[in-house]
């Protein structure tokens, strides 16, 4: 192998390493949190406590999932102990859901009683008895 061929091989290897690190960075920074968030939300839906929540803000992220934009939805709610909590969740939304989850609207969430900032959108009507 000539010196020129060795130089190109080293250059190609260096470019491959840079591309690989960039792909790993994008995966761990963008996609891994979404995947983890999905598992956390599934667990909260099963074991969490339902509460009515007011939507404080809705912000579109730069991420798309399943052909839909991913939004960060911030909500405010009260726990069973009457403690007011503000929490946020990332979720891909359809066009109809974008309208439904506008700031000022209400929704139903479930929260983790051990860590109330961990929430999942439940979005089923919650009727509290008096």
**In the chain, where the domains are located:** 3-121
What whole-number distance in Å separates Cα of residue 23 and Cα of residue 26?
5
Share of the chain above pLDDT 70, in %: 94
In the chain, alpha helices (H): 3-26, 32-47, 95-100
Structure tokens at 58: 């809705």
| pLDDT tops 90 at residue 50 | yes
Structure tokens at 98: 């974008």
Decide: pTM greater than 0.75: no
Can you give the pLDDT at residue 130? 47
Mean pLDDT value across residues 64-87: 94
């Amino acid at each position: 192998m000539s010196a020129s061929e060795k130089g190109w091989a080293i250059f190609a290897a260096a470019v491959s390493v840079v591309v690989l690190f960039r792909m790993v960075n994008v995966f761990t920074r963008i996609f891994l949190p979404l995947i983890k968030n999905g598992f956390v939300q599934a667990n909260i839906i099963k074991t969490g406590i339902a509460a009515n929540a007011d939507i404080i803000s809705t912000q579109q992220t730069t991420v798309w999932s399943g052909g839909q934009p991913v939004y960060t939805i911030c909500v405010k709610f009260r726990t069973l102990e009457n403690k007011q909590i503000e929490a946020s969740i990332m979720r891909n939304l359809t066009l109809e859901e974008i309208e439904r989850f506008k700031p000022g609207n209400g929704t139903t969430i479930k929260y983790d009683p051990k860590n109330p900032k961990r929430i999942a959108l439940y979005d089923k009507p919650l009727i509290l008895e008096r």
